[in-house]
Amino acid sequence: MNEQLLKVQVHKRQLQGDGVVVLDLIPVGGTTLPAFEAGAHVDIHIAPDLVRQYSLCSDPADNATYRLGVLKDPASRGGSNGVHEKLLEGTEVQISAPRNLFPLAKGAKRSILIGGGIGITPMIAMAYALQARGEEFELHYCGRSRSRSAFLDELGNAAFAERVFTHFDDEAAGQKLDMDAVLGQAQAGVHVYTCGPSGFMDWVIGEAGTRGYADDHIHREYFQVEVDSSGASFEVVAARSGKTVQVAEGQSIVAALKTVGIKVAMSCEQGACGTCLCDVLEGEPDHRDVFLTDEEKATNEQMLLCCSRAKSAKLVLDI
């Protein structure tokens, strides 16, 4: 993936809650930053071959600063630890231009934003955008504890503060997220957005589905997914490269291709971002990502190489 990278500097760094670093990034050289829409993310090039995606949580109307919130994950594969250890105030770093895989729906009658933990980040940008448009919405922030949660001061002082509702596991039962009250039964034009730990999101998505919300009215962005690499070995033919490789059990297609000199661009390594999306020319993929829709998976025209495997003995890929 060849893309033009932006050079930015960490202008402000603040630790909030329990293990969340909030970074304000400004452009190097005094230029303005590319505009972005709520729900967008950027790739941060933390180190060579270490690229991670983080949602923009700043006001989309501000083209002078990008704000990110990054949780230090105890099970970090290098990304969050690298951000916390390396991105100090004054540090310069390269990022991608914003890309949006989690946009706000156009023409919604009302939007219900539900963020779990650090999954609140894209929801904040959405709230700024919806407030600016004068559209109806509410923002629900769920977490284990108020003392461990970031962005509370910003949300409490925002112009949309009256639309923000917090729900913490260690506080009174009456303030916990009540799906009957929040979602009710599906109504025309009402859209639900959720981001957070996969178990939390699966719960929100399931609750919305049982209440009659159509799938295209339930919007989601996963940031952490359990990857299942089990399954029998299979053959991959890289049609454009003219190379063939055997993918072993427990090995990713990306890793196997690397052994024959084919480097695949990727970021999340968990089937959530779509960076390693590839066309399938022959064979049947075993889709294990959360990026493609069920309809897209059913066509078997594309697959994500970082996590998915094969149901057929051979895959021929356009790579």
Which of 190, 222, 254 terminates a domain? The answer is: 222
Residue 226 pLDDT class (50, 70, 90 cuts): low
Residue 236: beta bridge partners? Answer: 245, 315
The confidence score (pLDDT) of residue 117 equals: 95
By DSSP bridging, strand 92-96 and strand 110-116 are: unpaired
- Is 228 a member of any domain? no
How many Å apart are CA 112 and CA 138, to the nearest integer?
5
Give pLDDT tens digits for 176-198: 999 999 999 999 999 999 999 98
The confidence score (pLDDT) of residue 247 equals: 96
- Is 244 a member of any domain? yes
Give pLDDT tens digits for 69-118: 999 986 666 788 999 999 999 999 999 999 998 999 999 999 999 999 99
Instruction: Let me know whether 17 and 81 are in one domain.
Output: yes
Task: Mean pLDDT check: name the lowest of 38-52, 132-146, 300-314.
Answer: 38-52
Residue 5: beta bridge partners? Answer: 96
Residue with tokens 């023409």: 107
The confidence score (pLDDT) of residue 272 equals: 75
The answer on pLDDT for 2 being more than 60 is no
The answer on pLDDT for 314 being more than 60 is yes
- Is 147 a member of any domain? yes
The answer on pLDDT for 123 being more than 60 is yes
**pLDDT (average), residues 274-283:** 92
Instruction: Let me know whether 155 and 204 are in one domain.
Output: yes
Instruction: Let me know whether 124 and 217 are in one domain.
Output: yes
Instruction: Let me know whether 118 and 177 are in one domain.
Output: yes
| Residue 200 in tokens | 């939390």
Instruction: Let me know whether 92 and 118 are in one domain.
Output: no
How many Å apart are CA 230 and CA 248, to the nearest integer?
9
By DSSP bridging, strand 137-143 and strand 164-168 are: parallel
CATH of the domain at 37: 2.40.30.10
Instruction: Let me know whether 10 and 48 are in one domain.
Output: yes
Instruction: Let me know whether 263 and 241 are in one domain.
Output: yes
How many Å apart are CA 60 and CA 270, to the nearest integer?
27
Task: Mean pLDDT check: name the lowest of 12-21, 225-234, 235-244, 285-294.
Answer: 225-234
Residues 285 and 310 sit within 8 Å (Cβ to Cβ): yes
Instruction: Let me know whether 21 and 67 are in one domain.
Output: yes
**pLDDT (average), residues 258-265:** 92
Transcribe the chain into DSSP letters: ---PEEEEEEEEEEEETTTEEEEEEEETTSPPPPP--TT-EEEEEEETTEEEEEEB-S-TT-SS-EEEEEE--TT-SSHHHHHHHH--TT-EEEEEPPB-SSPPPTT-SEEEEEEEGGGHHHHHHHHHHHHHHT--EEEEEEES-GGG-SSHHHHHHSTTGGGEEEEETTS-GGGS--HHHHT-S--TTEEEEEEESHHHHHHHHHHHHHTT--GGGEEEEES-------S--EEEEETTTTEEEEE-TT--HHHHHHTTT-----SSSSSSS-TTEEEEEES-EE---SSS-HHHHHHTSEEETTT-EESSSEEEE--
| Residue 151 in tokens | 């962005």
Amino acid (one-letter) located at 217: H
- What's the domain count of the chain? 3
The confidence score (pLDDT) of residue 208 equals: 97
Average pLDDT over the chain reads 92
- Is 44 a member of any domain? yes
Q: Domain range for residue 63?
A: 5-96
- Is 287 a member of any domain? yes
- Is 166 a member of any domain? yes
The answer on pLDDT for 311 being more than 50 is yes
Instruction: Let me know whether 125 and 207 are in one domain.
Output: yes
The confidence score (pLDDT) of residue 293 equals: 81
- Is 177 a member of any domain? yes
Which of 96, 119, 142 terminates a domain? The answer is: 96
Residue 1 pLDDT class (50, 70, 90 cuts): very low
- Is 63 a member of any domain? yes
The confidence score (pLDDT) of residue 75 equals: 63
The answer on pLDDT for 169 being more than 60 is yes
Which of 96, 124, 158 terminates a domain? The answer is: 96
The answer on pLDDT for 237 being more than 90 is yes
Instruction: Let me know whether 87 and 119 are in one domain.
Output: no
**pLDDT (average), residues 283-299:** 90
